[in-house]
Amino acid sequence: DTGVSQDPRHKITKRGQNVTFRCDPISEHNRLYWYRQTLGQGPEFLTYFQNEAQLEKSRLLSDRFSAERPKGSFSTLEIQRTEQGDSAMYLCASSTGTSGLTQFFGPGTRLTVL
């Protein structure tokens, strides 16, 4: 257990539905990252927060994706009008300046879009 939790661990949904995932980072970590991993591939960067500010978004993050980190604590990632291509593992990681650059990963949320 790295101290980063994600909920739910698994989500099955039908195409066109909206889904929301939550990430709770280690409490003192000010940096939070979302990554996406498809089968057989390494993770890919989606977005980055420093405290409550979303400072970078990948081109992978289409208009159907939105992420928030209110109050700089937990974060949510919402996907609207899901498509089969959204099926993947969504990983959250957190870090802080005092931990150096080491990122601590959550267990991930596996999304299956039918």
Partner 1 sequence: KNEVEQSPQNLTAQEGEFITINCSYSVGISALHWLQQHPGGGIVSLFMLSSGKKKHGRLIATINIQEKHSSLHITASHPRDSAVYICAPHSGGSNYKLTFGKGTLLTVNP
Chain residues binding partner 1 by CB under 8 A are 2, 31, 33, 35, 37, 40-45, 48, 50, 55-56, 89, 91, 93, 95, 100-105, 107-108, 110
CB of 16 to partner 1, least distance (A): 26
Check: CB of residue 7 under 8 Å from CB of residue 107.
no
CB of 37 to partner 1, least distance (A): 8
> Nearer to partner 1 by C-beta: 74 or 105?
105
> Nearer to partner 1 by C-beta: 12 or 55?
55
The set of residues, in sequence order, having a beta carbon less than 8 Å from that of 45 and lying 6+ positions away, is 33, 35, 58, 60
> Nearer to partner 1 by C-beta: 84 or 102?
102
The set of residues, in sequence order, having a beta carbon less than 8 Å from that of 4 and lying 6+ positions away, is 23, 24, 25, 26, 92, 93, 94, 104, 105, 106
Angle at the Cα of 36 from the Cα atoms of 31 and 37, rounded to 5 degrees: 130
> Nearer to partner 1 by C-beta: 70 or 100?
100
Residue whose token pair is 């939070």 = 32
CB of 54 to partner 1, least distance (A): 11
